[in-house]
Amino acid sequence: MAIADGAYKDDVSPGGSPFRPLYDDRIRFSGQPIALVIAEESEIARFAASLARVEYEEEVHATDLYHQRGAAFALESPANPAENPFAPPKPRGAATQALAAAEVRHSGEYFVPIEHHNPMELFASTVIYERDAKLTVYDKTQGVQNVQRYLCGVLEMKPEEVRVISPYVGGAFGSGLRPQYNVVLAALAARALQRSVRLVLTRQQMYVLGYRPAMIQQIELGAKSGGTLDAIAHEAITVTSQYEDFYRQETGWSGLLYNSAHAKYMHKLARLELATSCDMRAPSAATAVYALECAMDELAAALELDPLELRLRCYSDRDQHGDRPYGSKHLRECYRPGAATFGWHKRREEPRSMRDGTELVGWGMATGVWEALQVPITVRIMLTANGHAEVSCATSDIGTGTYTIMAQVAADMLGLPLDNVTIKLGDSTLPQSPVEGGSWIAASVSNGIVTTADAVRHELLRLAKRMPNSPLAEVASDEVALVDGKLVSKRDSSCVVSIADAMRHGGVDRIEQEKSTTFADDGSHAHNTHSAVFAEVKVDEQLGVIRVTRVVSAVAAGRILNTKTARSQIIGGVVWGIGMALHEETLIDHKFGRIMNANIAEYHVPVSADVHDVDVIFVDEPDDHVNPMGIKGLGEIGIVGVAAAIANAIYHATGKRVRDLPITLDKLQR
Ligand code: MOS
């Protein structure tokens, strides 16, 4: 009997019917795996695979978004947004009439091509076939328990028969959110052969794991001549496969970011003969805010207003969708130091008015916005009498610094030196965690640690109170803190019991607590992170060669847990934004429906020579609403707005507006 396609669903599957590797004789996209060759050596396997001959019947296919835009279908906005947070938001006001009546209007069509994640290392799955037919799977994934559940569904195995391990993920950027075909193939092979199998993809094979959907966007802005917005209309067409409907709320960002009484949205999906598109760093915002922020720059030009001044005049202190306040929004506080550090006030308004020798100089800016999300999570802490703690959770560290911040928060909450804290993650046998994505893990796991550390402290106090003549006998639980390996009364610091004494008298050598944390959001406040990005480009006047010589990114993302890892995240986002603006583009030969540049020689990304000064500023943003520690997360805000700031700088340098990414020199010379 066929396994229902529901078995192939994973925690973050979009609607539709997931791709099932080696399931039937249908070919859905070029690059689909249709056979697996196993050998003792990978070289032999690859050679053997080259000998396989495949016969198939050709069918009509479509891979060109521009050709299929007429066939794209519109997504409905549900009456209750909670039903589908990715559907376009409900319109407000009467945008059509307001646009028609606006004193100043701008409309433009913007394009972002398909882009690929391209982590440096290759995707690989190693399946250890254990003696009792259980599987231990080493996989490159952002969610070990997601892969475990998925494999259990696909292989009809029990959770205790499949263990998935991924302590070091490397780069992922969203490509490791869903279980990938390599893990299924490796597991199938291991079961068929009853022996361990390792499957390492080639770079080319990674180009069908998923991609940032290409996006055609139309933005229409209506403003008063004084520089306030009346109306925003945002239409988007994005790409998905023939078998699943992947999309995010691409259009809602424009109605959220600026004060405008009227707003309307339209989001259409075009089905192509490609693998399903997927999340890629700041999915939807990276692409949508690019278009919005270029359109705002064009509106500023039409208004003859400084682009930063336009943002300030349109500033919104409230969440425009839900008409509610923000838990915190220090975007104004990003604009100011960002502009000051950059030297924005020295900008000459006129395009082509600034130069440096043979190069035209351009200064552009843009706003960035992302969500501050939180997810239910479980954390276990085992504290031993010698003052060592092991903190464990099945989350991942995708290079964002999760190990580091978990250790920091735990050390802080348990009053232990950092070296006394061991972090265990990336193992499906550990306490529950969703995939690491959406910039939600830092806040979620930190709060999980706080909650569990509280439970450890309560238990320690219970033991300490039972000691004869306990100095903490009369102290309430919330009146003690763990400091330097001791329980200390907050009122009287002479009332102290060491961890070792409390445990010795209690007759235990360890305390273990495991707590789940959920986030009951009452919906009274909106939670977002923001940034202000300023970019300088120098463009060779004769050749059109573009260099991004300076970027200043000022970020408001609640409490920053670790400035080193946080800064590193934002720099990474800026570098990626440079790639988005100038380099990245997946090209398809539509005759064959095949990706032509499925390698990192012809798929261009920024290299060191492309990255010059990058300055990151974190603005203070206290937030009592988002969670007790005021953490918002910043894995994704770093890229949002960067491509727009650079595109706007290129316009300012050259007077030429290129509305399709990447801005290559041929487009500039056209
Ligand atoms: Mo992120 S695109 O949710 O890994």
Which atom belonging to ligand 1 lies closest to the Cα atom of 279? 2
The answer on pLDDT for 3 being more than 80 is no
Partners of 271 in the beta sheet? Answer: 240
Which atom belonging to ligand 1 lies closest to the Cα atom of 282? 2
Q: Are strands 528-540 and 546-556 parallel, antiparallel or unpaired?
A: antiparallel
User: What pLDDT is attached to residue 302?
Assistant: 98
Percent of the chain with pLDDT over 70: 99
What whole-number distance in Å separates Cα of residue 46 and Cα of residue 148?
28
- Is 438 near ligand 1, meaning CB less than 6 Å away? yes
Nearest CA to ligand 1 atom 3: 437
Average pLDDT, the chain: 96
Is 94 exposed, middle or buried, given 0-12, 13-18 or 19+ CB atoms closer than 10 A?
Answer: middle
Q: Kindly give, in sequence order, each residue whose CB lies less than 8 Å from that of residue 40, ignoring residues fewer than 6 positions away.
A: none
User: What distance in angstroms lies between residue 440's CA and the mean position of ligand 1's atoms?
Assistant: 9
Residues designated as active site: 636
pLDDT tens readout for residues 538-572:
999 999 999 999 999 999 999 999 999 999 999 99
What whole-number distance in Å separates Cα of residue 227 and Cα of residue 318?
19
For 393-423, letters b (16+ CB in 10 Å) and e give bbbbbbbbbbbbbbbbbbbbbbbbeeebbeb
Which atom belonging to ligand 1 lies closest to the Cα atom of 636? 1
Of 624, 623, 634, the closest CA to residue 555 belongs to 634
List the Cα angle 152/156/160 in 5-degree steps. 50
Q: What is the average pLDDT across 175-186?
A: 98
- Is 577 near ligand 1, meaning CB less than 6 Å away? no
User: What pLDDT is attached to residue 81?
Assistant: 82
The answer on pLDDT for 231 being more than 80 is yes
User: What distance in angstroms lies between residue 281's CA and the mean position of ligand 1's atoms?
Assistant: 5
User: What distance in angstroms lies between residue 636's CA and the mean position of ligand 1's atoms?
Assistant: 8
Place of tokens 């089905």: 271
User: What distance in angstroms lies between residue 285's CA and the mean position of ligand 1's atoms?
Assistant: 12
User: What distance in angstroms lies between residue 173's CA and the mean position of ligand 1's atoms?
Assistant: 5
User: What distance in angstroms lies between residue 149's CA and the mean position of ligand 1's atoms?
Assistant: 19
pLDDT tens readout for residues 355-409:
999 999 999 999 999 999 999 999 999 999 999 999 999 999 999 999 999 999 9
Alpha helix (H) ranges present in 417-551? 441-465, 499-506
User: What pLDDT is attached to residue 4?
Assistant: 60
- Is 210 near ligand 1, meaning CB less than 6 Å away? no
- Is 371 near ligand 1, meaning CB less than 6 Å away? no
The count of other CB atoms within 10 Å of the CB of residue 158 is 9
Is the four-CA dihedral 580, 583, 589, 594 of positive or negative sign? negative
Percent of the chain with pLDDT over 90: 96
Pick from 279, 375, 576 the residue to mutate for probing ligand 1's pocket: most ligand atoms within 8 Å of its CB.
Answer: 279
- Given its phi and psi angles, is residue 326 left (phi above 0), alpha (psi -120 to 50 degrees) or beta? beta
Nearest CA to ligand 1 atom 4: 174
What whole-number distance in Å separates Cα of residue 233 and Cα of residue 226?
20
Which atom belonging to ligand 1 lies closest to the Cα atom of 438? 3
CA distances from 521 to 88, 249, 252, 524, 644 (A): 21, 20, 20, 8, 32
| Overall pTM surpassing 0.95 (yes/no) | yes
Pick from 116, 211, 281 the residue to mutate for probing ligand 1's pocket: most ligand atoms within 8 Å of its CB.
Answer: 281
Min mean pLDDT across 64-73, 74-83, 504-513, 608-617 is at: 74-83
What whole-number distance in Å separates Cα of residue 505 and Cα of residue 107?
74
User: What pLDDT is attached to residue 520?
Assistant: 78
First to last CA, the chain: 59
What whole-number distance in Å separates Cα of residue 47 and Cα of residue 37?
9
- Is 279 near ligand 1, meaning CB less than 6 Å away? yes
Of 593, 640, 644, the closest CA to residue 248 belongs to 640
User: What pLDDT is attached to residue 2?
Assistant: 45
Which of the four pLDDT bands, split at 50, 70 and 90, describes residue 79? confident
Q: What is the average pLDDT across 626-640?
A: 95
Q: Do residues 223 and 104 touch, judged by C-beta distance below 8 A?
A: yes
- Strands annotated E in 195-259: 197-200, 215-223, 229-240, 244-245
What whole-number distance in Å separates Cα of residue 615 and Cα of residue 552?
5
- Is 573 near ligand 1, meaning CB less than 6 Å away? no
- Is 437 near ligand 1, meaning CB less than 6 Å away? yes
User: What pLDDT is attached to residue 1?
Assistant: 36
Of 34, 1, 6, the closest CA to residue 18 belongs to 6
User: What pLDDT is attached to residue 220?
Assistant: 98
Check whether the bond before 662 is cis (ω within 30° of 0): yes
pLDDT tens readout for residues 53-67:
999 999 999 999 999
Tokens linked to 633: 């997360």
- Is 280 near ligand 1, meaning CB less than 6 Å away? yes
- Is 527 near ligand 1, meaning CB less than 6 Å away? no
User: What distance in angstroms lies between residue 141's CA and the mean position of ligand 1's atoms?
Assistant: 11
